[in-house]
Chains A and B, each alone.
Chain A
Amino acid sequence: MERSEFRNELFRIARELGCEAAETYYEESENFSASVLNAELEQYKVAKECGLNLRVKYGGKDGYAYTESFDDPRALVCRAIDNARVIESTDSHPMIGAQSYAPVAVRATPLEGVSVPDKIAMALGIEQKALAFDPRIRRVQTCEVETGHSRFELHNTLGLCAERESNEAALVLSAVAESDGVVKDGFAARLNSRADDVDGLVRETAQNALFKLSAAPVETGTYRVLFKNSAAAMFLFPFVPLFSAEEAQKGRSLLAGREGEKIASDCFTLWDDPFHPYAPRAFDGEGYPTRKKAIVENGVFQTMLHNTKTALKAGTESTGNARRRGASPVGVGPTVLSVESGEGSYDEMLQKLGDGLMLDDFGGLHAGVNQISGDFSLMASGALIRGGKPVRAVDRITIAGNIYALLNEIEAVGADPAFTVYGAIESPSLLISVLSVAGK
Chain B
Amino acid sequence: MKIDPSIFSELKLFFNERANPSAGKLSVVSAYTLSQTEKELILVSLIRLGYKTDEVDYQINKNILAGIILKVGTTVIDLSLRGQLTTLKNELYEST
Pair from one complex: no
A residues neighboring B (CB under 8 Å): none
